[in-house]
Every structure is written in structure tokens, then in C-alpha cells.
Amino acid sequence: MSTKICPNCNAEVPGVAHLCKHCFHDFHVVVPKKKSPLFTILFLAVGTALVSAGVYGYIHGQNRTFKISLDQETESIVFTTRFSDRTEADRVFWKDVSMVEYVKNTSPRPFEVAIVTTKGGRFIYQQSDEPIEYQAQQLSDMIKRPIVVKDESGTDNAAP
């Protein structure tokens, strides 16, 4: 007589049986095969790695400080950015500045003062939630360059 193995309890039962004599499993009901947990583990590992890389990148990018120095002796402005692993500095000589920009309604701060070079470079000098037109005028007077005021619509208005 033929026998079969019960998928529920692994007992050997007669081949013609409709129910297992040990656990009463119904052989007419199809038991879904168990999926390997390997896919789930792999999915969790890749997901964890991606989240970790994103968090590391965000923290690494946020860990920086800015410093802007006016050097009257060399007639230059030094923009220094210090990251956790390096320091970057840009020096802009006053003779290379074409204008001082005072921009209103920008993002992330609604007011900013920027230095625009003769070669088209643009460096943020100051940003604020409050109007800083006075600071723009002071900078313009110091480096003897004109101020261009830009409003939220992008139009230019040269300041006297």
C-alpha cells in the first residue's frame, strides 16, 4: 500500500487517507509553501544600508561653519567654509568685484547681500530674515562698487 507524508506534522499516513490520523490535517487543502526568510533579511539589510548612508550624508553635509573676513590690507574678502574633514577658502579681491547685490524675497532667507565678480562668480556675503540694506551699503562703500537691488520679481534697480 502507498503512503504519503503529512505536510503539517511530517507523519507517514496511507496514500488514500483524506485526513492525517495524527494531526487531522485535511489533504484536500493546499498548504502554501513557506517562503525563505533570505529575501526579507536581504531587503532589511539593503534598506538599513540606504538609510544609514542617507543619514551619514546629511549629517556630514550639515556639519560646516562659514566665516567671511574683510581684509583691508590686501583689499580682499575671504569666504571660509569649514567642514568636519576639510576647510575650503575663496578669496575675492575688491578689484575683481563688479557689484554688490542686495536681493529681497529670496530663499531660504528673505534678504541677502551678495558679491558678484567680473567673471560672473557670486558669493553670499550675508543672509537675514530682516532687511539688511544698510549692511549692503556699508560693503559697497568699503569696496567702492555699486549696489544692484533685486526684488522678488527679478527686476534690477541700481541704487545711488
pLDDT tens digit sequence for 53-78: 988 877 766 666 788 888 889 999 99
Q: What is the mean pLDDT of residues 153-157?
A: 51
Task: Find the DSSP H helices in 8-159.
Answer: 38-62, 133-143
Distance, in Å, from the CA atom of 124 to the CA atom of 108, rounded to the nearest integer, reads 12
As separate numbers, helices (DSSP H) first and strands (DSSP E) second, the chain gives 2, 10
Question: How much of the chain is in helix, strand and coil states, percent to nearest 5?
Answer: 25, 40, 40
What's the pLDDT at 76?
A: 93
User: Cell digits for 34?
Assistant: 513557506
Q: Tell me the backbone φ, ψ of residue 127, rounded to 5 degrees.
A: -130, 145
Please check the confidence at residue 157 and state whether its pLDDT lies above 80. no
First CA to last CA distance, the chain: 108
Threshold 0.75, pTM exceeds: no
What's the pLDDT at 101?
A: 93
In this prediction, residue 40 has a pLDDT band, given cuts at 50, 70 and 90, of confident
CATH of segment(s) 65-158: 2.30.29.30
What's the pLDDT at 159?
A: 52
Distance, in Å, from the CA atom of 91 to the CA atom of 39, rounded to the nearest integer, reads 53
Q: Tell me the backbone φ, ψ of residue 119, rounded to 5 degrees.
A: -90, 5
Distance, in Å, from the CA atom of 18 to the CA atom of 4, rounded to the nearest integer, reads 11
pLDDT digits (tens, 9 = 90+) for 110-147: 899 999 999 999 998 988 889 999 999 999 999 999 99
Best CA proximity match to 119, nearest among 90, 101, 97: 97
Distance, in Å, from the CA atom of 136 to the CA atom of 16, rounded to the nearest integer, reads 94
Domain boundaries in the chain?
1-34, 65-158
What's the pLDDT at 61?
A: 66
